[in-house]
Amino acid sequence: MAARGADEHARAANQQRYGDGEEVRRYLADPYHRTRRAIAVRLLTGALAAPPAAGTAAPILEIGTGSSGMLDGAAGAGYRVIEADLAPDALREAKTAVCFDAACSLPFRTGSLAAVVMGELIEHVYDPVRLLAECHRALRPGGVLVLTTPNLANVQDRLRFLLGYAPRHVDPLHPYLRLHIRPFTLSLLDRTLRTAGFQPIAARSNYVVWRLSSGRWWKSRLLARFAPGLGGSLVLSARRIP
């Protein structure tokens, strides 16, 4: 009952904060998030086999698409894409859509999906291990999971913690990061994926970021390539172990 109450509270808080589709579109238009999403799509297509003949492929599920999914390119390449979200309004323009709560069981048969993609979702779920276990169940053997999540141990927050300040992702006063129930580091996400029955394939990040007091950002793609564990967002791909 306690877990269910926490899930319900998180669901209500997230719907209130992210219910404005226009705000979400502005968020996704930022180069920081465009890069994160582009990396996720590259990891997905790199891990999948070549698209089979039309109509014969197991589908790809994107959970938490919001008002703008990131797999339009994959659909254009011949993969079947199912968009999923908790909010029905977010799915109005989707070609194939399912509305469900990711904190509950996934409404898909065991072994029926080729891939699952989740962008900035897992940190909002009270029990991420249960969510990953459901993804594992619904994926076919060898199926691919790609997810992105903010990095608790980005370079600036590591220094902040050493100086006695709390990382931004555990700040209960932050306007939106306060809704991140389960923040991850790269090593913790890797370990959690393995616990849920996945074999990590690749780990990437979009930018190593330093936020200035003026409100401007300094960011580097080069550093993120060499040290993804210091980056702002973590992007990981993994394969379901049969």
Q: Which amino acid type is present at position 195?
A: T
List of residues 6+ apart from 72 with CB closer than 8 A:
81
CATH code of the domain containing 67: 3.40.50.150
**141 is in which domain, residue-wise?**
2-240
Query: Phi-psi bin for 154: left (phi > 0), alpha (psi -120 to 50), beta?
Result: beta
**In the block, residue with structure tokens 């913690």:** 161
pLDDT given for residue 129 in this prediction: 97
How many domains, the chain? 1
DSSP string, the chain: -HHHHHHHHHHHHHHHHH--HHHHHHHHHSHHHHHHHHHHHHHHHHHSPPP-STT-SPPEEEE--TTS-S-HHHHHTT--EEEEES-GGGGTT-SSEEE--TTS--SS-TT-EEEEEEES-GGG-S-HHHHHHHHHHHEEEEEEEEEEEEBTT-HHHHHHHHTTPPPGGG-TTSTTGGG-SS-B-HHHHHHHHHHTTEEEEEEEES-EEEE-TTS-EEEEHHHHHH-GGGSSEEEEEEEE--
Angle at 120 between CA 242 and CA 147, to 5 degrees: 25
**Strands 233-240, 139-150: parallel, antiparallel or unpaired by DSSP?**
antiparallel
pLDDT given at position 188: 98
Residue with token string 């999906």: 113
Res 59: pLDDT: 93
- pLDDT, residue 1, reads 42
Q: Provide the pLDDT for residue 93.
A: 79
- What's the average pLDDT block by block, 10 residues per block, for the chain (242 residues)? 54 54 68 94 88 65 88 69 88 86 94 96 95 97 96 95 92 88 96 98 97 85 97 97 88
Q: Which residues contact residue 222 at a Cβ distance below 8 angstroms, ignoring those fewer than 6 apart?
A: none
